[in-house]
């Protein structure tokens, strides 16, 4: 009997080498689309928070590749009236999860991506300094896809393995660190469902590790 639908989640990033990820900040099994929009994290800053966002370009429309263009400063303002209002912004996220669960990485996790803006988590400001930002292609009131939840749980698992300070309660939404200014990932994001998926996934990995130990 299959354990659950997410036992097959490994498709995207489950095969990451945690030591390589920790030293390079690069997810080896996802597409790399480098953004120039990043800087160094302040010296001595521990990576200890994961921030979930959403984005769609134009707003409410999916596909088209405009998010990649936006994060790499190649958005053509002539392509859509909305793009005129954002084409000069220089922003990024560490990774994007598209509607079909495909993951694209833009910034090394060791670097400071420009995703959170003015923000505060548990009294500590400037969340970009110490967080990883992951964008879901989506909108606040449109259900996210099962593939996106699985990819996010998978990513969170790999990232929290490399940086264990990112515990389940240190995975948060942009709306929670910039209240009144940001609303993403919005009411459509199923936090209890995601946390259950993440924690169940953690227990599966733990069980696998214990089985491997038993086999040695
Ligand atoms: Zn956001």
pTM for this model (two decimals): 0.91
Of 146, 159, 32, 158, the closest CA to residue 100 belongs to 146
**Is residue 216 assigned to a domain?**
no
C-alpha 165 to ligand 1 mean position (Å): 22
- Three-state DSSP at 95 gives strand
CB 106 within 8 A of CB 35: yes
Specify if 186 maps to a domain.
yes
Question: What is the number of domains present in the chain?
Answer: 1
**30 upstream amide cis, omega within 30 of 0:** no
**How far is the C-alpha of 100 from the C-alpha of 122, rounded, in Å?**
33
Tens-digit pLDDT profile for the chain (216 aa)? 333 334 444 444 567 889 999 999 999 999 999 999 999 999 999 999 999 999 999 999 999 999 999 999 999 999 999 999 998 999 999 999 999 999 999 999 999 999 999 999 999 999 999 999 999 999 999 999 999 999 999 999 999 999 999 999 999 999 999 999 999 999 999 999 999 999 988 887 777 777 766 654
* Residue 26 CA from chain centroid, whole number: 13
- Does 135 map to a domain? yes
41: domain range? Answer: 5-209
Q: In this structure, what token pair is assigned to residue 77?
A: 């303002």
Tokens matching residue 22: 């920790």
Query: Is residue 111 a part of any domain in this protein?
Result: yes
CATH no. for residue 135? 3.40.80.10
Q: How far is the CA of 213 from the centre of ligand 1 (A)?
A: 40
Between the CA of 179 and the centroid of ligand 1 the distance, in Å, is 11
Evaluate whether residue 215 is within a structural domain.
no
**Residue among 16, 68, 98, 135 flagged as catalytic:** 135
Q: Is residue 40 a part of any domain in this protein?
A: yes
Bridge partner list, 124 = 121
In a domain, 190, yes or no: yes
Span from the CA of 121 to the centroid of ligand 1 (angstroms)? 14
Active site residue 135: yes
């Amino acid at each position: 009997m299959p354990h659950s639908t997410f036992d097959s989640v490994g498709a995207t990033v489950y095969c990451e080498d945690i030591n390589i990820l920790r030293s390079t900040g690069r997810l080896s099994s996802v597409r790399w689309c480098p953004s120039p929009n990043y800087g160094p994290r302040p010296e001595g800053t521990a990576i200890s928070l994961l921030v979930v966002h959403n984005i769609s370009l134009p707003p409410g429309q999916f596909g088209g590749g405009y998010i990649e263009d936006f994060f790499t400063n190649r958005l053509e303002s002539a392509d859509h009236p909305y793009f005129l209002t954002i084409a000069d912004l220089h922003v990024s996220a560490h990774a994007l999860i598209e509607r079909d669960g495909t993951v694209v990485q833009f910034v090394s996790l060791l670097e400071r991506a420009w995703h959170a803006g003015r923000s505060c988590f548990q009294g500590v400001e400037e969340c970009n300094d110490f967080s990883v930002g992951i964008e879901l292609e989506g909108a606040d009131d449109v259900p996210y896809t099962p593939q996106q939840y699985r990819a996010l749980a998978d990513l969170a698992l790999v990232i929290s393995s490399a940086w264990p300070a990112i515990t389940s309660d240190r995975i948060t939404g942009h709306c929670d660190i910039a209240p009144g200014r940001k609303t993403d990932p919005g009411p459509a994001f199923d936090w209890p469902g995601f946390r259950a998926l993440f924690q169940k996934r953690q227990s599966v990995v733990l069980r696998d590790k214990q089985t491997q130990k038993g086999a040695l």
